[in-house]
Amino acid sequence: MGQKVAKRKAKAQANDPVGDVLSKELAILGASKMKDSETFSKYVEVQAKKVQVSNEAVILRNRHQRLKELKYEDKILSMDISGMCPEDQAR
């Protein structure tokens, strides 16, 4: 391979962020026989745990938002509107 071709190839790889991440991950896992290696199975387990934790965080965030809404609704329903003007009572 000539110098110009090598430089062009290096620049193309440097501009590709997905390629960088993928090459780093493959270097960690080992490119040969990835599925058979213990490292790959550990990697898959870690990724599955990350997804599970992320899903649990979304569920907790939704539950927290619903509790805030219920608290606000309860506050509104428990207000004493007898002293308000008729327009405010209607709202």
pLDDT band at residue 35 using 50, 70 and 90 as cut-offs: low
Q: pLDDT tens for residues 41-79?
A: 788 788 889 999 999 999 999 999 999 999 998 988 888
Does 1 or 80 have the greater pLDDT score?
Answer: 80
- 77: number of CA atoms within 13 Å, CB side? 6
- What pLDDT, on the 0 to 100 scale, is given for residue 25? 72
Residue 15 has pLDDT above 70, yes or no: no
Q: What is the pTM of this model?
A: 0.45
* 43 neighbors 49 (Cβ within 8 angstroms): no
- What pLDDT, on the 0 to 100 scale, is given for residue 37? 65
Residue 89 has pLDDT above 70, yes or no: yes
Mean pLDDT of 19-44: 67
- CA dist 25 to 17, 28, 53, Å? 12, 5, 21
